[in-house]
């Protein structure tokens, strides 16, 4: 190493960060779970919302099936009544 | 002693060696100094060093020894410092022309020379600046620098040689040299 390299090694020697560095890192570490909790809550809420929408969709389907069944039954009844009227005449 | 007992003791000692607080105490000067010498901005260097340790905390399970942690931290500190400089999206804060001409010319061994050298290093482009920091702060050889920075060995060697020649020229023009 010549004089310049020796001076560079001295000039670029490691330095400690300002006092309390470890505490500041730990403070940021402890702030993290709050965000995780918020993200988890949002996911649960989205899940709950999705479940409600799925239930509503299934209810709508069931309602449509009942209405279709009633329409079929109604038309059958109509046909039977017409046939009955025809035999009476 | 049984095999299981040895295993438990072994695992305990590994766990103790990888205590996050101890790793931080052992490596914080290295991480902070890489960022500080590269960015030449104390506040940004502190923030970058904190980010590096937060990242270590996330990846702690994959770290095997303290030496492994040191190697990992150096690599991440290099990358995060480069990223921070790019985000800052401006040239190094000190231009070579702006480095003040000292009223009294410092000579080798003079503490004033250290400040001048740090400001001159801060004016180098990204890659040679980081190569010089790893060479003279971390005392890494060119092969280790190439591995840490992920660049070819020849590139590291030429950056160091050219940077040294540039610094020598600048210092000689300012009348600074060995007494």
H helix intervals, A1-89: 3-11, 21-88
Strand ranges in B3-147 using DSSP code E only, listed in sequence order = none
In chain B, the percentage of residues whose pLDDT exceeds 70 is: 77
The CATH code that applies to domain B3-88 is 1.10.1740.10
Contacting residues of A for B28, CB less than 8 Å apart = 16-17, 21-22
Q: What would the pLDDT profile of B18-59 be if each residue is shown by its tens digit?
A: 799 999 999 999 999 999 999 999 999 999 999 999 999 999
Please, which residues 25-54 of chain A have a Cβ atom closer than 8 Å to chain B?
A: 25, 28-29, 32
pLDDT band at residue B69 under the 50/70/90 scheme: very high
User: What is the distance between the alpha carbons of residues B27 and A58, in angstroms, rounded to a whole number?
Assistant: 59
- Contact B43/B107 with Cβ under 8 angstroms? no
* Of residues A37 and A68, more confidently modeled: A68
Contacting residues of B for A22, CB less than 8 Å apart = 21, 24-25, 28
CATH fold group of domain B96-173 = Arc Repressor Mutant, subunit A (1.10.10)
- Contact B51/B39 with Cβ under 8 angstroms? no
* Of residues B77 and B13, more confidently modeled: B77
CB-neighbour burial class of residue B62 (10 A; exposed 0-12, middle 13-18, buried 19+)? exposed
pLDDT band at residue A74 under the 50/70/90 scheme: confident
**Mean pLDDT score of chain B, rounded to an integer?**
85
Which string of b and e fits B94-129 if b means at least 16 CB within 10 Å? Answer: beeeebeeeeeebebebeebbebbbbbbbbbeeebb
User: What's the average model confidence in pLDDT over A62-69?
Assistant: 86
- Give the relative orientation of helices B142-149 and B153-173 as an angle to the nearest 10 degrees: 110
Per-residue model confidence (pLDDT) at position A65: 86
Contacting residues of B for A14, CB less than 8 Å apart = 29-30, 33, 137
Residue B10 has pLDDT above 50, yes or no: no
CA distances from B37 to B19, B67, B77, B89, B119 (A): 27, 22, 12, 17, 9
User: Domain-by-domain residue ranges, chain B?
Assistant: 3-88, 96-173
User: What is the distance between the alpha carbons of residues A62 and A65, in angstroms, rounded to a whole number?
Assistant: 5
Most confident of A32-46, A59-73, B3-17: A59-73
User: What is the distance between the alpha carbons of residues A44 and A46, in angstroms, rounded to a whole number?
Assistant: 5
Residue B65, token pair as written in the block: 């020894």
Q: Do B45 and A29 touch (CB under 8 A)?
A: no
- Contact B30/A14 with Cβ under 8 angstroms? yes
Please tell me if residue A10 touches chain B, with a CB cutoff of 8 Å: yes
**ipTM (interface pTM):** 0.79
Neighbouring CB atoms inside 10 A of B41's CB total 18
The residue among A12, A17, A13 whose CA lies nearest residue B42 is: A17
User: What is the distance between the alpha carbons of residues B81 and B38, in angstroms, rounded to a whole number?
Assistant: 7
Q: What would the pLDDT profile of A78-88 be if each residue is shown by its tens digit?
A: 888 888 888 77
pTM, entire model = 0.69
Longest Cα pair distance anywhere in chain B, in angstroms? Answer: 72
Per-residue model confidence (pLDDT) at position B90: 57
User: What is the distance between the alpha carbons of residues B17 and A87, in angstroms, rounded to a whole number?
Assistant: 99
Per-residue model confidence (pLDDT) at position A70: 86
């Amino acid at each position: 190493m010549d004089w310049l390299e020796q001076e560079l090694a001295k000039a670029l020697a490691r330095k400690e960060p300002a006092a309390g560095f470890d505490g500041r890192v730990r403070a940021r570490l402890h702030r993290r779970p709050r965000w995780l909790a918020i993200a988890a809550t949002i996911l649960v809420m989205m899940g709950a919302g999705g479940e409600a929408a799925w239930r509503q969709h299934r209810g709508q389907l069931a309602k449509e099936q009942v209405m279709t069944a009633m329409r079929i039954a109604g038309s059958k009844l109509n046909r039977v009544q017409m046939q009955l009227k025809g035999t009476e005449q | 002693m049984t095999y299981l007992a040895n295993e438990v003791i072994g695992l305990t000692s590994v766990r103790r060696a990888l205590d996050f607080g101890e790793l931080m105490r052992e490596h914080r000067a290295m991480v902070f100094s890489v960022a500080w010498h590269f960015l030449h901005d104390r506040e940004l260097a502190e923030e970058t060093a904190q980010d590096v340790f937060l990242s270590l905390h996330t990846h702690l399970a994959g770290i095997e020894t303290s030496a492994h942690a040191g190697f990992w931290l150096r690599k991440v500190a290099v990358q995060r410092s480069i990223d921070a400089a790019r985000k800052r999206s401006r040239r190094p804060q000190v231009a070579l022309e702006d480095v003040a001409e000292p009223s009294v010319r410092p000579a080798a061994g003079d503490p004033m020379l250290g400040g001048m050298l740090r400001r001159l290093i801060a004016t180098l482009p990204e890659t040679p600046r980081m190569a010089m920091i790893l060479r003279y702060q971390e005392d890494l050889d060119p092969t280790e620098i190439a591995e840490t920075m992920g660049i070819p060995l020849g590139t590291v060697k030429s950056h160091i040689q050219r940077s040294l020649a540039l610094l020598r020229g600048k210092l000689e023009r300012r009348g600074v040299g060995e007494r």
